[in-house]
């Protein structure tokens, strides 16, 4: 079986996996990194949203071979030790979460948005496709706007 | 040493907390089990006779839960200064662990961070069901009394240690504090407190006027775990040897395997086992990637399920025909009538059904999220041929539920697979499995008629029919897991309004489809239809919908929440062209709610609810911020189910497969502005988790009607 190395949350990891194995199952089943969640397996619900070289991806539709020698960041790699990322902190301050299952993906999507667009408009935030079945959207919007004021370039 | 201490607190029940919603004025037993540390227990649930009559089991010094503890709420103060209460309910996002932690912290004067609320394993007795918006109502008294008793013992123990009068001590931040400034943590007093038989201070809960935490908007206790990815759901657990498992399922409901060729699947690397279960063919593999590949390599010939060629049109026709006839209207009255149809709706929790099963020859151990873990354990035991006492069920937090986890077919299936494969398994239903094999809110058809005379409604009739599941109780599908509160509207509600003679009836169409209770159950469709008709009655009488409701609502509390949203939401303010406002109210679970929605229906095919204002009176709101979150969720339920989210049935199968075509609201469909007002109240808590659905649905439909000049009849509107 082929072997692939990539940087996961700042640490180099190597896995033996079929080339077409989705990153989601590499993370969850081989590396036991379970922050990215399965919600559909077809890149639609976006509960698994993470970053590849700083860009938003849905690991359920990204093959492990396409991650070789690149940087993968999951929700587990977002905080700096005990210091939360400003988006995580805004999520806490706004008490966004309900069941919590989609929130790692929502946070990673928000971080990616804020990276590109420091002061997102309502329309920019409307562009986030991640499903929240609990319906926390209003607090997600509030948290993104709050985080936008905290993030320094 | 370990003699349990019983105390009768009958006379100790604070009159202010013994209102009409109190379970009963029963003998309230609190006892201490252990001398190793303070452990107190209070009876819980409705089966008070058992708790009353039985002696608590004599427990070894290090045992926390034995015997009758199964029907108790048990509080333990650890030496590490943590307060632990194992909760016989499930956390699925509704915030019950936060609410209970607040009740406990309030009465103990503990720091919220020192209170730990793990979920209890499935028990053998008592009420461990989560449903009916009942959790806060059923736990509010026991939890506070439990903690108040623990506090009294801790204070008494400190007084003895310091030889000072107990009344001179106060409690704060999980410590007892003496007038001279000495402090002792609860943890350091726990062992001594366990030996206290007679407390020197009151062990009754505080009056509401002294509440510092209950009623204060409080963030979730699990918030940090969630935003860091540490919150653990069943699929995140690493149970030794439990291998990823998926099931190949038929396209149709109840389709059956005719033949299977599993040679290619078995030959794949990483595939460990292929076993047949009633729902299809299970593949156990090294990872979910391998399991899905194995599943897709199976060559299966399926026979269609019992629905045959039945599709939506046929189901809708049968439902319409099954609606009982309305009686004759009062003589001389004019009629406002409407027929309403609601499609099937998936519960679609973000976390698909997932269960870990380790079934051995003489025992089984299971991990999954369940609203009714006791029934689940019984069904698992009978499915795999073990006594219930040999089955351990660990209840996991759930990634949403909305009623989906009231049944436990995935857990039963996981147990069967584990038994057949002879190894532990981690079974996951795919999103397609969940969307296509249920469960679903049943499709319904409603016929409503209001009769008015001289400007007043003199009769109101509502007859409806819904799809009922016609087969099997496997997985607890048909088990009533909780008793609906008496306040629930009967078919033909309208009890909310002074509408003269009320009548109603319901019929059913039995079909072999997996339906289930969906947040707010029957009210989600019935009361929505009624609130739409109320607007049409108002229109027919030439009266404003809010003014009409104000003059016809029976309850002052409902009028008050309606007034609140009308004021806060600027009812009848000038709106841009294509916009419209709608209101609706609902009363259930001892609570009431109003919703005002504003919709932009400039493009009627792509309407956007831009603003939602809700107001709720739930009696004492333990955590107003959590309650606002619940209302926010129900607003999105209303938006989704009324405008866009439903399931089609094509020839015995669900057409939709995931969130790609099951159009649940995304951020772009959610209101840009949401606010929820909580009415001040000192009454006992009512239920809240499901409360908002009918009001939100009704308000969205009424707003759409006013914006477009149409009469919404079939839901979802854009389907």
pLDDT tens, position by position, B195-204: 888 999 999 9
CA B609 to chain centre: 25
The runs of H, that is alpha helices, within B163-222 are: 186-194
Report the percentage of chain B scoring pLDDT > 90: 84
* Percent of residues in chain A assigned helix, strand, coil, to nearest 5: 40, 15, 45
Regarding whether A97 and A55 lie in a shared domain, the answer is no
Contact assignment for B658 to A28 by CB distance below 8 Å: no
Beta strands in B454-490 (DSSP E): 456-469
Give how far B635 is from chain A: nearest CA, Å. Answer: 8
On whether both A29 and A66 belong to a single domain, the answer is: yes
The answer to whether the Cβ–Cβ distance between A74 and B229 falls below 8 Å is yes
Does residue B647 sit in helix, strand or coil? strand
Last residue of a domain, one of A35, A58, A77: A77
Q: Does B234-305+353-428 match B314-344+439-715 in CATH topology?
A: yes
Query: Same domain, yes or no, for A63 and A110?
Result: no
Burial B479-505 (b: 16+ CB within 10 A, else e): bebbebbeeebebbbbebbebbeeebb
Same domain, yes or no: A92 and A117: yes
Residues B65-76: what's their mean pLDDT?
A: 64
Please determine, for residue B302, whether its predicted confidence score (pLDDT) is greater than 50.
Answer: yes
Distance CA(A148)–CA(A2), nearest Å, equals 42
Q: Are residues A54 and A110 in the same domain?
A: no
Q: Classify domain B234-305+353-428 at the CATH topology level.
A: Aldehyde Oxidoreductase; domain 4 (3.30.365)
B671/A22 Cβ within 8 A: no
pLDDT, tens digit, 9 for 90 and up, residues B98-146:
999 999 999 999 999 999 999 999 998 888 999 999 999 999 999 999 9
Could you tell me the pLDDT band of residue B69, with boundaries at 50, 70 and 90? low
Residues in A touching B670 (Cβ below 8 Å) = 135, 137-138, 141
Chain A hits for B220, CB-CB cut-off 8 Å, are 95, 97
The structure tokens listed for B388 are 């219930």
CB contact under 8 A, A133 and B350: yes
Band of pLDDT at residue B298, cut at 50, 70 and 90: very high
Q: What's the length of chain A?
A: 153
Q: What percent of chain A is predicted at pLDDT more than 90?
A: 97
**Closest partner CB to A45 (pick from B289, B397, B659):** B659
Note the pLDDT of residue B29: 47
Which residues of A fall within a CB distance of 8 Å from B398? 99
d(CA B184, CA B162): 10
Query: Residue B44: its pLDDT value, please?
Result: 66
Of B439, B270, B273, give the one whose Cα is nearest residue B345: B439
- Give the 3-state secondary structure percentages of chain B, helix then strand then coil, rounded to 5: 30, 25, 45
Q: Rounded to whole angstroms, how far apart are CA atoms B613 and B205?
A: 34
Q: Which residue of A has its CA nearest to B396?
A: A99
Average pLDDT, chain B: 89
Going by C-alpha positions, the residue among B460, B465, B589 that lies closest to residue B531 is: B460
**C-beta atoms of B350 and A125 within 8 A:** no
The confidence score (pLDDT) of residue B56 equals 37
How many whole angstroms separate alpha carbon B562 and alpha carbon B160?
Answer: 55
- Residue B59 has a pLDDT of 34
pLDDT tens for each residue of B492-535: 455 899 999 999 999 999 999 999 999 999 999 999 999 999 99
Average pLDDT over residues B327-331: 95
Write out the CATH class of domain B314-344+439-715: alpha beta
d(CA B368, CA B384): 17
Alpha-carbon distance B510 to B74, whole Å?
Answer: 43
Confidence of residue B438 (pLDDT cuts 50, 70, 90): confident
Distance of CA B559 to the CA centre of its chain: 26
Q: A132 is in which domain, residue-wise?
A: 86-150
**A125 vs B667: CB contact, 8 Å cut-off?**
yes
Cα–Cα distance measured from residue B155 to residue B171, given in angstroms and rounded to the nearest whole number: 8
As a whole number of angstroms, the distance between CA B372 and CA B130 comes to 7
Rg for chain B, CA atoms, rounded: 27
What would the two tokens of residue B517 be? 């209770």
Q: What is the C-alpha separation between B213 and B216, in angstroms, rounded?
A: 5
What does the alpha-carbon distance between residue B345 and residue B101 come to, in Å, rounded to a whole number? Answer: 33
Residue B181 CB-density burial (10 A; 0-12 exposed, 13-18 middle, 19+ buried): exposed
Q: Band of the pLDDT at B67, cuts 50, 70, 90?
A: very low
Query: Nearest residue on chain B to A107, judged by CA atoms?
Result: B227
One domain for residues A71 and A91: no
Domain definitions of chain B by residue range: 10-226, 234-305+353-428, 314-344+439-715
- In 3D space, the residue among B415, B302, B402, B421 whose CA is nearest the CA of residue B367 turns out to be B415
Q: pLDDT per residue over B43-54, tens digit each? A: 765 333 333 333
Class of domain B10-226: alpha beta
């Amino acid at each position: 079986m082929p072997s692939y190395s990539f940087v996961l949350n700042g640490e180099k990891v190597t896995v033996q996996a079929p080339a077409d194995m989705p990153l989601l199952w590499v993370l969850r089943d081989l590396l036991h990194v379970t922050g990215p969640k399965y919600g559909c397996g077809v890149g639609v619900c976006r509960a698994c949203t993470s970053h590849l070289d700083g860009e938003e991806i849905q690991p359920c539709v990204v093959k492990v071979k396409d991650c070789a020698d690149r940087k993968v960041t999951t929700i587990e790699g977002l905080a700096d030790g005990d210091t939360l990322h400003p988006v995580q902190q805004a999520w806490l301050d706004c008490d966004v979460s309900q069941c919590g299952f989609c929130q790692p993906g929502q946070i990673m999507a928000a971080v990616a948005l804020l990276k590109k667009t420091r002061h997102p408009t309502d329309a920019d935030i409307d562009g986030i496709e991640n499903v929240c079945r609990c319906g926390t959207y209003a607090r997600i919007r509030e948290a993104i706007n709050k985080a936008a004021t905290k993030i320094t370039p | 040493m370990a003699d349990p201490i019983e105390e009768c607190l009958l006379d100790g029940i604070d009159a202010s907390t013994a209102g009409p919603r109190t379970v009963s004025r029963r003998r309230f037993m609190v006892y201490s089990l252990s001398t190793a540390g303070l452990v107190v227990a209070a009876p819980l649930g409705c089966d008070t006779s058992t708790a009353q009559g039985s002696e608590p089991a004599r427990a070894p010094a290090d045992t926390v839960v034995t015997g009758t503890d199964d029907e108790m709420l048990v509080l333990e103060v650890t030496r590490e200064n943590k307060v632990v209460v194992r909760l016989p309910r499930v956390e699925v996002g509704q915030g019950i662990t936060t609410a209970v932690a607040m009740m406990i912290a309030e009465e103990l004067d503990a720091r919220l961070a020192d209170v730990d609320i793990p979920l209890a394993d499935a028990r053998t007795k008592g009420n461990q069901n989560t449903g009916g918006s009942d959790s806060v109502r059923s736990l509010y008294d026991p939890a506070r009394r439990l903690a108040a008793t623990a506090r009294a013992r801790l204070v008494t123990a400190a007084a003895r240690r310091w030889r000072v009068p107990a009344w001179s001590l106060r409690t704060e931040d999980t410590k007892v504090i003496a007038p001279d400034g000495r402090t002792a943590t609860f943890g350091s007093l726990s062992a001594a407190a366990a030996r206290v038989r007679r407390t020197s201070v009151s062990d009754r809960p505080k009056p509401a006027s002294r509440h510092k935490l209950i009623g204060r908007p409080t963030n979730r206790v699990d918030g940090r775990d969630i935003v860091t990815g540490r919150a653990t759901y069943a699929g995140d657990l690493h149970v030794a040897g439990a291998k990823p498992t998926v099931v190949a399922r038929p396209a149709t409901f109840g389709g059956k395997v005719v033949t299977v060729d599993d040679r290619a699947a078995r030959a794949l690397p990483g595939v460990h086992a292929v076993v047949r279960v009633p729902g299809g063919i299970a593949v156990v593999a090294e990872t979910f990637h391998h399991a899905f590949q194995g599943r897709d390599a199976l060559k299966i010939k399926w026979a269609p399920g019992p629905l045959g060629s039945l599709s939506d049109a046929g189901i809708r026709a049968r439902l319409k025909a099954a609606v009982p006839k309305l009686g004759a209207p009062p003589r001389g009255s004019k009629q406002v009538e409407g027929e309403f149809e609601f499609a099937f709706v998936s519960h679609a929790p973000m976390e698909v059904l997932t269960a870990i099963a380790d079934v051995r020859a003489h025992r089984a151990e299971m991990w999954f999220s369940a609203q009714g873990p006791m029934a689940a354990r019984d069904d698992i035991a009978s499915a795999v041929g073990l006594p219930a006492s040999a089955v351990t069920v660990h209840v996991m937090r759930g990634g949403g539920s909305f009623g989906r986890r009231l049944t436990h077919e995935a857990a039963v299936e996981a147990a069967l697979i584990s038994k057949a494969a002879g190894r532990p398994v981690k079974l996951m239903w795919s999103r397609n499995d969940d969307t296509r094999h249920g469960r679903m809110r049943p499709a319904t058809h409603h016929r409503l008629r209001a009769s008015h005379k001289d400007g007043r409604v003199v009769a109101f009739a509502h007859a409806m029919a819904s799809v009922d599941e016609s087969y099997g109780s496997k997985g607890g599908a048909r088990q009533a897991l909780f008793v609906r509160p008496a306040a629930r509207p009967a078919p033909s509600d309208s009890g909310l309004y002074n509408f003269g003679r009320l009548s109603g009836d319901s019929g059913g169409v039995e079909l072999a489809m997996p339906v289930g209770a969906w947040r707010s159950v029957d009210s989600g469709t019935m009361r929505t239809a009624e609130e739409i008709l109320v607007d049409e009655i108002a229109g027919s009488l030439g009266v404003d919908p809010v003014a009409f409701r104000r003059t016809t609502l029976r309850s002052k509390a409902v009028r008050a929440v309606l007034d609140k949203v009308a004021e806060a939401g600027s009812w009848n303010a000038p709106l841009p062209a294509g916009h419209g406002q709608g209101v609706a109210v609902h009363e259930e679970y001892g609570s009431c709610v109003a919703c005002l929605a504003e919709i932009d229906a400039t493009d009627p095919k792509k309407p956007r609810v831009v603003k939602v204002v809700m107001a709720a009176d739930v009696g004492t709101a333990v955590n107003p911020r959590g309650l606002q979150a619940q209302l926010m969720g129900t607003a999105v339920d209303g938006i989704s189910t009324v405008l866009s989210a439903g399931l089609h049935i094509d020839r015995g199968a669900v057409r939709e497969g995931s969130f790609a075509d099951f159009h649940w609201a995304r951020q772009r469909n959610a209101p840009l502005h949401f606010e929820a007002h909580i009415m001040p109240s000192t009454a006992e808590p009512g239920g809240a988790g499901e409360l908002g659905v009918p009001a939100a649905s009704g308000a969205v439909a009424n707003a759409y009607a006013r914006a477009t000049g149409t009469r919404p009849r079939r839901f979802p509107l854009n389907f």
